[in-house]
Amino acid sequence: MLPEPDPRTVAALASDLSAAGFASAAVRGAWGDDADDAVVRGLHGPALRALAGRADPLAVLARLFVLGVAQPAADVAAALPAAGVEGIVALGLAETAGDGIRPLALVRPQSLSDPAGEVDWWIASDLDEAAVGGALPEDHVLGVGGASRTLAGIQVPTPAAAGLDVGTGCGIQALRARRHVSRVVATDVSAAALRFTRLNALLNGIDGIQTREGSMFDPAADETFDRIVSNPPFVITPRVADVPAYEYRDGGMVGDALVEAFVTGVGAHLAPGGIAQLLGNWETRDGVDGLERVRAWVERSPIPLDAWVVEREILDPVAYAELWIRDGGTLPTAPGFGRLMDAWLDDFSSRDVTAIGFGYVLLRRPPSGDAPTLARYESVWQSLGDEAIGAHLAGALEAHDRVVALDDAGLAASVLRFAPDVTEARHQLPGAEDPTVIELRQGGGFARVVSVDPALAGLVGACDGDLPAGVLIDAIAQLLEVDAAALRVDLLPRVRELLFTGFLRFAD
């Protein structure tokens, strides 16, 4: 386990990393895009080939801290003039091995962009399986992976006073939350994870993060928070003695019970108007769709909650088991793979599980004890930039709150404009006078594509921030020679949906 990080030594290391230009873009540039893609897949050979023969600080630090490869002591000393070899040894990040320095942890640059701007952090974590050269230990502290980048990107970037990061791991979500939240409590069952969190906060000069050891909401006691975020250990794992129980991904419960416990328990720790966001898995079980099971969890919450649940992927039991067996470093050709696969499939069969969904959950405690007004459970399969949609989610919530406060007369009196990322596509048969399909396409957000009829297409196109929606609908009714009142009844509910999904915006 890491020793408690010494602030002065950490500051010296940060100075050295900065002086070496040890940043995401610089490292990627040093070995190229193809090698960088290979590193993401756990293949370090191409990156090492690209850096061969280089002994400059950037190359030395990239090999040592990104790839986890031992380096000559003299080269490391030259790359770290302030912290020195003794500094990273004292921090528990490396050890001496003859004339070389062997890494004991990774320190990888991680870039992040949100409405507040761009940052480049250094994130320390345990050695990955490529550096270890085999299966990971069960107490492994994970670095920044695809799931954690997704959650960091979907955090709503609106100001808040108090935040809670449940299952913080290396601390990336706490650091991300701190950009918009004044004070963050980061919790984990792993003392090692909390030390990495404290190290990473110091390394990046981020204050206002308090760490507490414990499971789920236990460390929060009776406190409430304006923001709660969690990338919990949601991986569904057989409760069998010889199946590895990795702390970073396995919460020790059966099936998807951990996500269920989070959803049903988080409301008590949300302040009025507070928002909770998490990643999770849910089972389609006994013929009940996974999203419907999540809906039932929300409805069982003792604290009424608004809910927006987005399913991004569904895997069958075999594919799910293979994914997480490989994640632990056991390949299909390795001894024991078949045994692990059988354990997973037996576990799923015992609950009649036919599919496993993955996605994200946004829950909100209505302000002032108001009744929930949002219950949205949807599947979004198209590829999109998960790492930059937090602002879209915040905008959707703001639009929802404004829309539900308006009756149809109020909505008709509202002045709207179409969003700048919206385009229209029309498809028609050769020689046909009218299109057979009209689509509105969204460039940002969830990259939605919506089929519309000529009336709605005409309304969206006319929403330029000038005239109220009702006036435009009346004009379209006259043009199409249909009843204006009937057209309002038809269009206004769809306008509400387009406002929530971001195709339309209020002009004021």
CA dihedral angle for residue 381, residue 384, residue 386, residue 390, rounded to 10 degrees: -100
Q: Where in the chain are the domains?
A: 7-103, 134-402, 403-506
Look at strands 422-427 and 437-442 and give their pairing: antiparallel
Tokens of 81: 């003039």
The distance in angstroms from the start CA to the end CA of the chain is 54
CATH number of 403-506: 3.90.930
Segment 106-134, tens digit of pLDDT = 999 999 887 778 889 999 999 987 787 77
DSSP 452: E
Residue 455 has pLDDT above 70, yes or no: yes
Q: What is d(CA 468, CA 250) in angstroms, rounded to the nearest whole number?
A: 53
- Please state the rounded mean pLDDT for residues 476-495: 96
pLDDT, residue 342, reads: 93
Q: What is d(CA 122, CA 144) in angstroms, rounded to the nearest whole number?
A: 10
Q: Do the domains at 134-402 and 403-506 have one common CATH topology?
A: no
Kindly report the CATH class assigned to 134-402: alpha beta
pLDDT, residue 250, reads: 74
**In percent, how much of the chain has pLDDT > 90?**
81
DSSP 224: -
Q: What share of the chain is helix, strand, coil (3-state, %, to 5)?
A: 40, 25, 35
Which of 196, 145, 110, 170 lies closest to 324, judged by CA?
145
245 CB-contact burial (10 Å; exposed 0-12 / middle 13-18 / buried 19+): middle
pLDDT, residue 383, reads: 78
Decide if 200 contacts 192 (C-beta within 8 A): no
Segment 25-80, tens digit of pLDDT = 999 999 999 999 998 888 899 999 999 999 999 999 999 999 999 999 999 999 99
